[in-house]
Chains A and B, each alone.
Chain A
Amino acid sequence: MDFPDLFKVYLSLELLWSSCHKCGHTGMDSSSFSVTSLDTVDPKLQHFIEVETQKQRFQQLVHQMTGLCWEKCMDKPGPKLDSRSEACFVNCVERFIDTSQFILNRLEQTQKSKPVFSESFSD
């Protein structure tokens, strides 16, 4: 699991545990500690989880792209980011997203004729 999914699991577990801690019951009897789906969690918390997960996905991609584009666009660090380097970073982001979309689209197309990931494995 990548970071955003782990984060979501951790967060929802933490919140479920916390809410049960508040219940005031002594033991972990099944009535107070139900490990059910997120549907039983307060919708405000559910919304919070979704929003924060989305924000974190964004942050992770910014980290990743900054790293990649740094290699492509930065020579020797100067006193400021010149306009050519800045333009390179902007292009780099756009082309990275394009690449990602291209891969998804092409995979979708080739999957229709020659499935790469099939559910059954022949010996």
Chain B
Amino acid sequence: MESGFGSDFGGSSGGKLDPGLIMEQVKVQIAVANAQELLQRMTDKCFRKCIGKPGGSLDNSEQKCIAMCMDRYMDAWNTVSRAYNSRLQRERANM
């Protein structure tokens, strides 16, 4: 862990809280939040695509559809992420 923040936080060696640790914890929290968002959106989209008139349970075809849908949603997410990144780099290059 980094120990380069001592000057701004009176005596970092004695304290339990350390900015490096805070930063790591925040990064984890952000990752969790993003995973939750992804899951929420995926559930919404796959429910719409795969479930017609809701029955008494999820039948085999519905389950298969949901499984495929999940994978396709991840493919789509990755494609969009790459495309957006490319566009941003292109914009920066043109500035």
Contacts and interface: CB of A to CB of B under 8 A. Distances in A.
Nearest to A93: B83
Interface residues of B, number: 42
B77 A62 contact: yes
B32 interface: no
B80 A58 contact: no
Where chain B touches its partner, the secondary structure class is: helix
- What range describes how many residues of A lie at the interface? 35 or more
B87 A89 contact: no
Interface of A: 7, 11, 14-15, 18-19, 21-24, 41-42, 44-45, 48, 52, 55-56, 58-59, 61-63, 65-67, 69-70, 73-74, 76-81, 85-86, 89-90, 92-94, 97
Interface of B: 4-5, 8-12, 14-17, 19, 22-23, 26-27, 30, 34, 37-38, 41, 45-46, 49-50, 65, 68-69, 71-73, 75-77, 79-81, 83-85, 87-88
